[in-house]
A and B are shown apart, each in its own frame.
Chain A
Amino acid sequence: EVQLVESGGGLVQPGGSLRLSCAASGFTFSSYWMHWVRQAPGKGLVWVSRISSDGSSTTYADSVKGRFTISRDNAKNTLSLQMNSLRAEDTAVYHCASLYSSSWSEYFQHWGQGTLVTVSA
């Protein structure tokens, strides 16, 4: 059974830092591009960042560029998101997701339940 389990969320003050982790199991983690998607309370889904299967390529949403860093450890089947200079608008549940990709389709195949990050004084 495929599992993605996020951890590391919590309450942090504006300007603070937090590191999220996503533990993957049940599939060949090292073969998949991985993504972070966030969801503010009562709101929709917003893409945050992605990393290639070997970790050599990363991309970020403009709203987090320069503040967040995505990384992965394929030996430990773990995805991470280092979040610095946090703002109130970063408050959200953060989901990790694996991307299925073929020549004619691409979609988020598996998702974790998410970890809540609250940025507040």
Chain B
Amino acid sequence: EPEVTQTPSHQVTQMGQEVILRCVPISNHLYFYWYRQILGQKVEFLVSFYNNEISEKSEIFDDQFSVERPDGSNFTLKIRSTKLEDSAMYFCASRKDRNNYGYTFGSGTRLTVV
């Protein structure tokens, strides 16, 4: 069964450093997402991406965050200057088209900012 792949599974970074989280969505999917889960809390929507542009973003997704689809397969989330409160599990997800609500989530990247 097709999977959404996220790398790395765990990343430790120093406060103030830039970090890039990587995702390979399912190849025929058109919509891509990033979600965040602070430890012990609920999963929160960050951003959706379609047709090479952001289609929706949450209040959490401020100027420190950016997303990119640099080639035909990767989908990245960049945090420019990490803060302690950015420590969380970050999930990438994709879905096939606007009428298909079958979201597929990756296994997540646990980001620890020290």
Partners in one complex: no
Using a CB–CB cutoff of 8 Å, the interface residues on chain B facing chain A are none
